[in-house]
Structure formats: structure tokens, C-alpha cells
């Protein structure tokens, strides 16, 4: 059965208005109930998310909710940007004047929707796919960051810390999907080595850690009117994904990619077809089958080299952040939040 994007979509404000006008006779949708649910504590193990692509209608509510929930974390760059020496080093990347871009990942858009129109077994399918960080179980971005600016938490989230990040982009290079995005003119490099180091800060989805820390659902899951995503301990999510794939005679992605991720997709059509159909390129992740990046000898060597010095670098940069605080209130607020 072909999935079609509805002609009208439901916004959060529109839903609340309709609900208040509808009175007690209006049924509460499952998404509203899900918003009140609690997320398992990190002690339950790594948290993973399951995306049932047979449900997504492409309304874009998840994209809007992500922006609203994480807007306080977005960068406010200083211009003009320092000229890098040599000039062929990390090129400036500026999205501050293009904050409304939603058709790709940017420092201001950590979640996007891809669309794939495919024919499979004689049936036409229109599949909508939420894309963001895969939160790998063994993340090469965190393992190879020379500044200790990225780490994997016990609950399975891979986070970047803008207080320490120098924007060198190693994380994007080693990421199989090239997901992290740079914003120049922001970060510690401006105070330490503005012409020689990095060129900004790297940004990506952090799975609304500020909400998870309070036991709340990530914004994209809370707002979804179709219950596309489910979050829970990874072993439970894996079992659900396999069961769902059997029920729909479907396919799984993210279970083994890059050695295993905490973002698992189930689709009624093969991911090889989806990969051919989606728009790919910079800021637009692919759906190729990928091996374990950390099995690569180069990345293993980098991780082994980085491990003993990343903590020292993080400590040095943390001290630098305290010594060279900027007047930017939003940046200072984020630093204080991280230190706490």
C-alpha cells in the first residue's frame, strides 16, 4: 500500500488549540499519552530508538520539535571569521544566515526528513525517513577526537561538548554517515589559536539529553502524532525491531552498521532501494551497508593515541574556557551547564 503525505499536517499549537476546543469528547491521541511516559533510567543499560518507517507520514513535527527543544544550544558566531593559516586548513562554514534550512543537517538543524519513492514487489511506496545521529555503540567520532570534546554516555548517547570542541572536523571524517556539521566563529578556538586551530564547533543530535536526564522523552518522540519512534533499553528495542520486521516481512538498518548503533530502522522495503531513492550528499546521510569504522587500523591507531591524551586536552581546554570566557551570554550559559 502506498503511503502518501497528508495534505494537512498537525502542528503542536494547532493540536493543543483543537484539543482545548474539543472538550472531553475528544479522544487523546497516543502521541499525547507517550509525551507523559517516563524513559527508563540509564541504569537499565544503553537506550536505543526504533523507527517504524511504515508509520511516518512526513509531517515534519519532529523537525520542529527538535529545533524548539534545542534552540538554546545553537551557536551565535562572531564575525568576521579569523583567516586560517594556512588557508587550506579547515574551511569556514557559516549557517548562521541559513538557520531555516531543513532539507539537510546543519548546526541549526539536527534532524531532517528524507523521502524515497520506490516500487517493491509490484507496489509503489512513499517512505519518509527521520535522519539524525545514529549514536553508535562504539562511536569513532568520540574515540578519535583529539580534544576529548566528544564522549559516549552510559545511556548510549554520544555527545559533543561545545566548551572543548575546536571544530577540526575529525568526527565528521570518521563518521560513516558524515553527520556532524561545523559552525565557524564560535568556540574556544577564537580565544586560544584563532588562526591555527579548528575553525568553530561541531554540532549534531544529542538525543535531547537535557530531557532524558529528567526521565522525559526526546522532543521528536514526544511530539510525533504517529508513534513512529520507540525508545527503551537496547536489548528490548532490538527484540522489537526483529519482531516488527518479521510481522511486515521487512528489513532492519542500524542493528549491525558500524558495529551496531542505538538508532534502528525497520522498513517494509529494502534499504538498498531506499538508498538509491533518497537525496544524498553533504548533510544528507546515505543508507549504505557500512562496516565497523573502529575495525579500521587507522582509526584504531588514532583511538589508541588519543585515549591517554584526550583527558589532558579536555582538562587544558576546560581551564582555557574558564580563563577566556567571552561576553556571549548564551555561550557562557552552555559552559556553565556542562560544568555543572
What pLDDT was estimated at residue 22? Answer: 37
Q: Which helix (H) or strand (E) holds 119?
A: strand 112-120
234-238: long-range contacts at Cβ-Cβ below 8 A with a sequence spacing of 24 or more?
234/45, 234/46, 234/47, 234/48, 234/156, 234/262, 235/45, 237/48, 237/49, 237/50, 237/264, 238/48, 238/264
From 105, 245, 110, select the one nearest 253 (Cα to Cα).
245
Given a contact cutoff of 8 angstroms between Cβ atoms, the answer to whether 184 and 107 are in contact is no
What pLDDT was estimated at residue 325? Answer: 57
Query: Using CA atoms, how far apart are residues 157 and 252, in angstroms rounded to an integer?
Result: 21
Q: Convert the pLDDT of each residue in 122-140 to its tens digit.
A: 999 999 999 999 999 999 9
pLDDT exceeds 70 at position 25: no
- Residue 340: pLDDT band by 50, 70, 90 thresholds? very low
Planar angle of CA 283, 287, 290, nearest 5 degrees:
105
CA–CA distances in Å: residue 142 to residues 172, 201, 239, 310: 11, 14, 27, 10
pLDDT exceeds 60 at position 8: no
- Residue 2: pLDDT band by 50, 70, 90 thresholds? very low
Q: Mean pLDDT over residues 221-241, rounded?
A: 97
3-state secondary structure of 256: coil
From 129, 133, 131, select the one nearest 180 (Cα to Cα).
133
User: Structure pTM?
Assistant: 0.80
Domains, the chain:
31-339 (3.30.70.20)
The cell numbers describing 58, all together, are 512526513
Q: Convert the pLDDT of each residue in 240-264 to its tens digit.
A: 999 999 999 999 999 999 999 999 9
Q: Mean pLDDT over residues 214-220, rounded?
A: 96
User: Lowest mean pLDDT: which of 80-94, 199-213, 319-333?
Assistant: 319-333
What pLDDT was estimated at residue 249? Answer: 97
The cell numbers describing 151, all together, are 564522549
DSSP letters spanning 182-234:
EESS-STHHHH-TTTS--SEEE---TTHHHHTTTPPPHHHHH-TT--EEEEEH
Find all residues with CB under 8 Å of 116, minimum gap 6, and list them. 125, 126, 127, 129, 273, 274, 277, 278
Amino acid at each position: 500500500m502506498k503511503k502518501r503525505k497528508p495534505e494537512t499536517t498537525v502542528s503542536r499549537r494547532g493540536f493543543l488549540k483543537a484539543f482545548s476546543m474539543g472538550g472531553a469528547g475528544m479522544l487523546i491521541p497516543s502521541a499525547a499519552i507517550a509525551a507523559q511516559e517516563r524513559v527508563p533510567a540509564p541504569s537499565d543499560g544503553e537506550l536505543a530508538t526504533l523507527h517504524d518507517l511504515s508509520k511516518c507520514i512526513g509531517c515534519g513535527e519532529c523537525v520542529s520539535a527538535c529545533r524548539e527543544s534545542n534552540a538554546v544550544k545553537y551557536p551565535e558566531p562572531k564575525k568576521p571569521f579569523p583567516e586560517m593559516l594556512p588557508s587550506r586548513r579547515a574551511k569556514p562554514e557559516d549557517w548562521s544566515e541559513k538557520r531555516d534550512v531543513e532539507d539537510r543537517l546543519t548546526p541549526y538543524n539536527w534532524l531532517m526528513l528524507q523521502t524515497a519513492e520506490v516500487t517493491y514487489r509490484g507496489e509503489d511506496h512513499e517512505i519518509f525517513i527521520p535522519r539524525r545521529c545514529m549514536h553508535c555503540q562504539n562511536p569513532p567520532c568520540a574515540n578519535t577526537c583529539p580534544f576529548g570534546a566528544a564522549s559516549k554516555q552510559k545511556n548510549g548517547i554520544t555527545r559533543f561538548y561545545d566548551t572543548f570542541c575546536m571544530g577540526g572536523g575529525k568526527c565528521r571524517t570518521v563518521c560513516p554517515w558524515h553527520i556532524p556539521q561545523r559552525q565557524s566563529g564560535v568556540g574556544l578556538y577564537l580565544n586560544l589559536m584563532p588562526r591555527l586551530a579548528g575553525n568553530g564547533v561541531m554540532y549534531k543530535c544529542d538525543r535531547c539529553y537535557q530531557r532524558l536526564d529528567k526521565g522525559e522523552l526526546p522532543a521528536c518522540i514526544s511530539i510525533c502524532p504517529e508513534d513512529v519512534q520507540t525508545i527503551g533499553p537496547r536489548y528490548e528495542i532490538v527484540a522489537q525491531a526483529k519482531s516488527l520486521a518479521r510481522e511486515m516481512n521487512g528489513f532492519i538498518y542500524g542493528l549491525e552498521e558500524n558495529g551496531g548503533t542505538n538508532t534502528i530502522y525497520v522498513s517494509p522495503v529494502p534499504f538498498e532501494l531506499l538508498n538509491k531513492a533518497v537525496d544524498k550528499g553533504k548533510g544528507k546521510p546515505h543508507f549504505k551497508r557500512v562496516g565497523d569504522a573502529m575495525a579500521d587500523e587507522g582509526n584504531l591507531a588514532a583511538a589508541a593515541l588519543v585515549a591517554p591524551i584526550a583527558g589532558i586536552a579536555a582538562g587544558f581546554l576546560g581551564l582555557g574556557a574558564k580563563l577566556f570566557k567571552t561576553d556571549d551570554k548564551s555561550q557562557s550559559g552552555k559552559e556553565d551547564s556542562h560544568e555543572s
